[in-house]
Amino acid sequence: MPRKKKKENINIKSSETKIFFGLILFVLGIALLIAPIVGQQAHIFIYISRLLGWPSSIWGIAVLLISISLLTKGKSAKNPSRIAGVSLLAITLNTLFTFWLPKEALENPEGLERAGGTFGRLLHLTINNAFGNIIELVILLILLIVAFSFITGVKLEEITAFLHQMFSNIKLGDMKDKFSGEGKGEKLIISGLEDDEQIPLLEEENVQQGSEPVISGSVENDIDFSNISSKTPTTTNTTNTEHVSPSEPRYPNWVYPKIDNLQEPQKATQNQEAYKNDSQVIERVLKNFGIAAKAVKVEIGPTVVRYALSLAADTRVAKIKSLVDNLAVSLMINKELIRIETPIPGTSYVGIEIPNKTPNFVYAKEMARKLLSQADKYELPMILGKDIAGQTVIKDLVNIPHLLVAGATNTGKSVGINAILAGLLLTKTPDEMKLIMVDPKRVEMTPYNGIPHLLTPIITDMELVVNALNWSIEEMMRRYRMLEQARVRKITEYNKKIGYTAMPYLVIVVDEMADLMLVAGKEVEPKIQRLAQMGRAVGVHLILATQKPIVEVITGLIKSNIPGRMAFAVTSSMDSRVILDQTGAENLLGSGDMLFKDQTMPKSIRIQGTFISTEDTEDIIQQVKAQISDETPVYSEELKSAIERPQAEPGSSSGEREPEFAIALKIVIGEGKASASLLQRRLKIGYNKASRLIEQLEEAGAIAAQHDNSSKPRDVLVNSPEEILGEESTQDY
């Protein structure tokens, strides 16, 4: 016969007893849980509310966990630390809710029901009488942290590491669940989805005011300009100072071009869920390789999306860069198009930039609309585009003050220059700005021929550019003499003192530097250097572009004097270093995607350049040309003469001398030195003619040869004109 099963004795450890107490605790837990909700419906709930207040619900959860553990024999809710954590949380909340009550409310039973109850009052008074308010609050905060650790299973060591990182950051508002690396339930900040125009982040704060108030009536000048001829400068015998009269405005009734006919922007709808999914993919890939990262913000730019990652304090940033291949595979994009920014300027976050799958290109009309709303903030506004956060970027060329543009073929370089020129034509009259444009390709800038802003037709012959640069240097020095004459320091002060725009800005645009450096590199380089060094004060600014960013074209001498850089996509990191002195341009997308940098920025910023179509460019140009009364544009005769006049080759023996040769010889003998600037001042001639006279004097043996890289005047080798001229010296010149 089978042996009869022995009946279990009833005791404190028996299963029947555990189930019995489990049922009782289950009912008690339900009562505790719903007491704050049901209120005054039964005496038991009134008693619980007065005893425990609002935290009775937390007490109910703790009791329910214990009851479930007893009823299931420990198979469910068997973690004692979690039960202890919930209980500790309930005790802490009882005290904390009562802590904020005023003293007179501690004796009010109804007030205690809505706080921590009589139990909370007891705990609060006990701790407060012993330690005071500040220590009590610190103790309660510590107990909350410990309770959180028990409930979630997160170690106290991880919590303290998180708190240390949080308080070491400047931005305290970015408190995230960084220590867990999960951050479930938290919202990811996505910016750039709005269509409304936002306030630009990158506009100049300390820009010079673009429109100075016009001074009507009498102007207090140190020099009376009314007695000075507008065409013939005069020279005083005592000081040899050339007095130059400012030019009168030619277009007082100028009408700025309208933007109504420009192409309307086309906007694509952004998929917010796709950005969230990509941020989770990035987090997962990094987590698989042992990097705890949290995507805290997504910035949606026109063509690029940047994910801002918050990392633990001990994470090696270089490790993220080594995972570009893995990120590219997981995100299903070309790894060459991923750019990692460490850190994002002004933050402690690491940025991962990838192409926007639904790009919104930047159109000239929206940028022009933004520019015209604040045109008075800029002297020479440059429309650039929108940054990675979707903010408009408009810079002032006056503050840069020269710009170098470089990028591979078909990356948006010429379109970017056309956008800059469009911004200038939309806001500047021919009296306020003049242009000299060089286009060796003969196709990019041809439509601009005939606009009144040009001083000369578009220069396409590289051999003539040297003459144009020589004239520009001469014009720059003439302007300095005008500033000296008016006793002012810069162009804006001069125009304000005269009462109108008597000295226009001069912008020299070269669309391809490579051909220019190939034809006349040795002659061009020092001239660009001199214009870049001295041109800003008198309103002379350079915009130089090239599709060959190599050291033979963008030399160290040119780079050191041109702080503004626009780098479009290039083929190698070496080309990027030539342009920006840093890598990054090799990872750009093309189609106007650029990196911009000037002397005010420690790092370059990424911008989607403005797209302006050929039709938009022609529309603006036609509106400008339509305001010329006669069909023939008025160019500078001095510049035209300087460009077309061939330069004498050094050492040539043509025998033909300038008519002023004899007078120049007598001047250098009388002065005991020879230089082109000396002859310019004494003979009132241009730089080109003065240079030819110096060369002819050297050919004739009257002066010594120029020392290499020396700016000193040349030595005179003869004592009288007869030694060179012979009988010619007796003629009446």
SS3 522: helix
pLDDT confidence of residue 214:
30
SS3 221: coil
Asked if 329 and 455 sit in the same domain, the reply is no
Percent of the chain whose predicted confidence (pLDDT) is above 90: 33
Contact 372/427 with Cβ under 8 angstroms?
yes
SS3 716: strand
Residues 377, 395: Cα–Cα separation, whole Å = 10
Asked if 565 and 616 sit in the same domain, the reply is yes
Identify whether 294 is part of a domain: yes
Asked if 435 and 392 sit in the same domain, the reply is yes
Helix-helix angle 80-99:56-71, to 10 degrees: 170
Identify whether 213 is part of a domain: no
Contact 716/668 with Cβ under 8 angstroms?
yes
Residues 31, 64: Cα–Cα separation, whole Å = 10
pLDDT confidence of residue 648:
44
Contact 390/192 with Cβ under 8 angstroms?
yes
* Range(s) of the domain holding residue 283: 272-355
For 201, 389, 394, 427, 698, the CA distances from 197, given in Å and listed in that order, are 12, 12, 14, 21, 64
Residues 241, 385: Cα–Cα separation, whole Å = 46
pLDDT above 60 (res 208):
no
Q: DSSP letter for 310, please.
A: E
The winner for highest mean pLDDT among 205-209, 403-407, 654-658 is 403-407
Q: What is the mean pLDDT of residues 349-364?
A: 92
Residues 133, 124: Cα–Cα separation, whole Å = 10
Alpha helices in 190-339 (DSSP H): 272-288, 317-321, 324-331
Q: Model-level pTM?
A: 0.60
Q: What is the CATH number of the domain that holds 328?
A: 3.30.980.40
pLDDT confidence of residue 708:
55
Alpha helices in 2-115 (DSSP H): 15-38, 43-52, 56-71, 80-99, 109-113
Per the document, the length of the chain is 733
Measuring CA to CA, which residue among 483, 440, 499, 506 is closest to residue 639?
Answer: 506
Neighbours of 633 (CB within 10 A): 16
Contact 32/59 with Cβ under 8 angstroms?
yes
Asked if 434 and 513 sit in the same domain, the reply is yes
* Helix, strand counts (H, E) of the chain: 24, 19
Banded model confidence at residue 171, pLDDT cuts 50, 70, 90: very low
Asked if 311 and 417 sit in the same domain, the reply is no
What is the DSSP pairing of strand 605-611 with strand 362-363? parallel
Structure tokens at 132: 């005071």
Contact 644/466 with Cβ under 8 angstroms?
no
Contact 470/527 with Cβ under 8 angstroms?
yes
The separation between CA 461 and the C-alpha centre of its own chain, rounded to angstroms, equals 36
For 167, 231, 624, the CA distances from 227, given in Å and listed in that order, are 71, 12, 34
Identify whether 179 is part of a domain: no
The winner for highest mean pLDDT among 18-22, 34-38, 323-327, 639-643 is 323-327
Q: What is the mean pLDDT of residues 667-688?
A: 88
Residues 711, 150: Cα–Cα separation, whole Å = 80
Q: Which residues are annotated as a binding site for ATP?
A: 407-414
Q: Could you tell me which residue, 85 or 671, shows the higher pLDDT? A: 671
- The dihedrals phi and psi of 242, each to the nearest 5 degrees, come to -80, 125
Q: What is the mean pLDDT of residues 100-125?
A: 76
Identify whether 209 is part of a domain: no
pLDDT above 90 (res 617):
yes
- The dihedrals phi and psi of 238, each to the nearest 5 degrees, come to -85, -40
Asked if 341 and 373 sit in the same domain, the reply is no
Banded model confidence at residue 710, pLDDT cuts 50, 70, 90: low
Q: Cα–Cα–Cα angle for 593, 596, 260, nearest 5°?
A: 65
pLDDT in tens, 300-316: 999 999 999 998 877 88
Helix-helix angle 133-152:156-168, to 10 degrees: 120
Asked if 438 and 519 sit in the same domain, the reply is yes
**Of 111, 129, 154, which residue constitutes the final position of a domain?**
154
Instruction: Give me the amino acid identity at 96.
Output: L
Q: Cα–Cα–Cα angle for 142, 148, 149, nearest 5°?
A: 90
Q: What is the CATH number of the domain that holds 590?
A: 3.40.50.300
Q: Which helix (H) or strand (E) holds 163?
A: helix 156-168
Identify whether 467 is part of a domain: no
Greatest CA separation found in the chain? 158
Q: What is the CATH number of the domain that holds 706?
A: 1.10.10.10
Beta bridge partners of 363: 611
Q: Cα–Cα–Cα angle for 299, 302, 307, nearest 5°?
A: 25
Measuring CA to CA, which residue among 433, 340, 337 is closest to residue 380?
Answer: 433
Asked if 22 and 100 sit in the same domain, the reply is yes
**Of 307, 335, 355, which residue constitutes the final position of a domain?**
355
pLDDT confidence of residue 532:
93
Asked if 328 and 453 sit in the same domain, the reply is no
pLDDT above 90 (res 246):
no
**Of 154, 176, 200, which residue constitutes the final position of a domain?**
154
pLDDT in tens, 366-376: 999 999 999 88
Contact 697/705 with Cβ under 8 angstroms?
no
Structure tokens at 653: 């023996």
Q: Could you tell me which residue, 714 or 241, shows the higher pLDDT? A: 714
pLDDT in tens, 531-546: 999 999 999 999 999 9
Instruction: Give me the amino acid identity at 301.
Output: G
Residues 321, 408: Cα–Cα separation, whole Å = 25
Residues 385, 362: Cα–Cα separation, whole Å = 6
For residue 550, the number of C-alpha atoms closer than 13 Å in the C-beta half-sphere is 7
Mean per-residue pLDDT of the chain: 80
Identify whether 250 is part of a domain: no
SS3 387: strand
pLDDT in tens, 438-492: 998 888 899 999 999 999 999 998 888 988 998 999 999 999 999 998 999 999 9
Asked if 546 and 657 sit in the same domain, the reply is no
Identify whether 488 is part of a domain: no
Cβ partners under 8 Å of residue 286, min gap 6: 292, 293, 309, 320, 323
Q: Which helix (H) or strand (E) holds 436?
A: strand 433-438
pLDDT confidence of residue 534:
92
Asked if 322 and 367 sit in the same domain, the reply is no
Q: Which residues are annotated as a binding site?
A: 407-414
Residues 223, 245: Cα–Cα separation, whole Å = 10
pLDDT above 50 (res 200):
no
pLDDT above 70 (res 218):
no
Residues 50, 47: Cα–Cα separation, whole Å = 5
Neighbours of 333 (CB within 10 A): 15
Measuring CA to CA, which residue among 677, 695, 694, 675 is closest to residue 686?
Answer: 677
Residues 712, 556: Cα–Cα separation, whole Å = 24
SS3 315: coil
pLDDT above 60 (res 86):
yes
Identify whether 237 is part of a domain: no
- The number of domains in the chain is 4
Q: What is the mean pLDDT of residues 63-82?
A: 74
Asked if 620 and 701 sit in the same domain, the reply is no
pLDDT above 70 (res 151):
yes
Residues 712, 61: Cα–Cα separation, whole Å = 93
pLDDT in tens, 328-345: 999 999 888 899 988 888
